[in-house]
A and B are shown apart, each in its own frame.
Chain A
Amino acid sequence: MHRRNLNSFMEYLKKYYIKYKKQILPLIFLSLSFFLIFRVILPQISAISESNQLISSKTSQIDTLQKTLSVVSSQNDSLTEEQLGTATKALPGIKDIVIIFEALTSAAGASRTELREFSLKVGGVYGRAAKVTGFVKGVPSISVTTRISGDPLGLIRFSKEAQERLPLAEVKTVDTNKDTGTFEIDFFYKPYDITAIAKSDKVSPLTQADLNLLSQLKEWDK
């Protein structure tokens, strides 16, 4: 019974095929054309655009990496080490009380004054809640109050000497009375952003301005 039904259906199809065979091929071509447009051409257009973007980003990245390689491979290791020492002494990564004390003692010695006392608010030493006392353009600082004794001109020389020493500091207030003076000085520091440094691919050679700044810092490294 089923077989007879199938045969009659096939006969019916055959009859229609013979009748419309001239229309069927064009319809197949058109369907295939639509298929190609939506399944091949359009997806390939977006794939080509993505590939072009990838190529352009990789090309610029390779360019950066090549420059980086040429910079790092041509550096003098001992010179870089020295520059690193000067730069990190000028702007330490931590609140280093010892080097602050050394800088104050050295400034007092150079100005022929005497360091009587100094106090500082270290603030937080670990964790997000660590409060930063000062901030200059994204660079935090630690505020130190120091009492110095000496002649009036020596006291003013002390503030100049304190600003021309490493680590870098800024004299915020001066209050002198005859032979003693109280100075509020901000010492700058900045924690290292290790993640950003590790991620960075671009290493530029030091410019003339950088070298000038380094030689200025070296002069201040007394």
Chain B
Amino acid sequence: MKTNINLIGQTRAQKKRLNIFFIASLSVFLIIFIISLFFLVYSLMLKARAQGLLKKENSLRSQITVYSAQKEKLLIVGERLGNLRKVISSRGNIDTRAETILSVIPSDFNIEALMADSKVVTIKISSPDLTSFDTLLEERIPNFTKNNSLKIARVNVDYFSQKKDDYSLSLSFHFAPQKLK
């Protein structure tokens, strides 16, 4: 039988451990309780603030309802203008091209036909004076293509013919593809 067992000492150590365990658990509980309380109060404050904002939003909405017709008109104007801007920026300029090309043709030429689409403008002209063709092909058109802002990629003479006293010429102006804005 053992005689050196210190029952008193062990009980004290055990008591001390239990006390520490008790104090630690109580501290943990208190800390968590305080944190929970803080979160609850903060959450309630936020909910109250959200409710206030909701009320303010509803009040603003009811104030706007008075101007609903005005609002609708302004929205339609804004939407139409947005779409119109898109259309205008992507519209072709066949009319400007044709007009500019016609301005290069001297007035002593007769304009027989003109065909235009987004890529090519073809013009058929006639004149009884052969020298006018020389001036047109050697001076006016080269100068025009150098200085033009129409982005002409190339100019083709499709045909040149003579019928009775008249000379006919078909010219096609090819344009560089337009970049959509």
Given A26-B25, A80-B73, is A87 in contact with B43 using a C-beta cutoff of 8 Å?
A: no
B65 to chain A, nearest CB (A): 10
Interface residues on A, range: 35 or more
Complex interface: chain B residues within 8 A of A87 (CB): 76-77, 80-81, 84
Does A137 make an interface contact (CB < 8 A)? yes
Given A40-B36, A80-B74, A87-B81, is A178 in contact with B87 using a C-beta cutoff of 8 Å?
A: no
Q: Are B25 and A190 in contact (CB under 8 A)?
A: no
Interface of B is mostly: helix
Which listed residue (A47, A80, A193) contacts B43, Cβ 8 A? Answer: A47
Q: Are A174 and B50 in contact (CB under 8 A)?
A: no
Q: Which of A121-173 contact B (CB under 8 A)?
A: 136-139, 152-153, 155-157, 159-160, 162-163, 168, 170-173
Which listed residue (B50, B67, B72, B98) contacts A197, Cβ 8 A? Answer: B72
Name the CB-closest residue of B to A171: B94
Given A25-B22, A40-B39, is A175 in contact with B115 using a C-beta cutoff of 8 Å?
A: yes
Q: Are A66 and B60 in contact (CB under 8 A)?
A: yes
Does B86 make an interface contact (CB < 8 A)? yes
Which listed residue (B28, B46, B98) contacts A174, Cβ 8 A? Answer: B98
A50 to chain B, nearest CB (A): 9
Q: Are A136 and B102 in contact (CB under 8 A)?
A: no
Does A81 make an interface contact (CB < 8 A)? yes
Complex interface: chain B residues within 8 A of A33 (CB): 25, 28-29, 32-33
B-side interface residues, number (CB < 8 Å): 66
Interface of A is mostly: helix
Expressed in whole angstroms, the Cα–Cα distance for A41 and B33 within the complex equals 9
Q: Are B67 and A73 in contact (CB under 8 A)?
A: yes
Given A33-B29, A139-B87, is A197 in contact with B75 using a C-beta cutoff of 8 Å?
A: yes
Name the CB-closest residue of A to B101: A156
Q: Are B42 and A48 in contact (CB under 8 A)?
A: yes
Q: Which of B107-152 contact A (CB under 8 A)?
A: 111-118
Does B47 make an interface contact (CB < 8 A)? yes
Given A62-B56, A163-B91, is A213 in contact with B85 using a C-beta cutoff of 8 Å?
A: yes
A49 to chain B, nearest CB (A): 10
Which listed residue (B49, B60, B92) contacts A69, Cβ 8 A? Answer: B60
Complex interface: chain A residues within 8 A of B40 (CB): 40, 44
Given A156-B102, A177-B112, is A188 in contact with B64 using a C-beta cutoff of 8 Å?
A: no
Does A204 make an interface contact (CB < 8 A)? yes
A-B contacts, 23 of them at CB < 8 A, read A26-B18, A33-B25, A68-B71, A71-B74, A72-B67, A72-B71, A72-B74, A80-B74, A80-B77, A84-B77, A90-B84, A139-B83, A163-B91, A171-B94, A172-B117, A174-B98, A174-B114, A176-B114, A190-B80, A197-B75, A203-B71, A206-B77, A206-B78
Smallest CB-CB A-B distances: 6 pairs: A26-B25, A51-B46, A87-B80, A44-B39, A58-B53, A160-B95
Residues on B facing A (Cβ under 8 Å): 15, 18, 21-22, 24-26, 28-29, 32-33, 35-36, 39-40, 42-43, 46-47, 49-50, 53-54, 56-57, 60-61, 63-64, 67, 70-81, 83-88, 90-92, 94-96, 98-99, 102, 111-118, 180
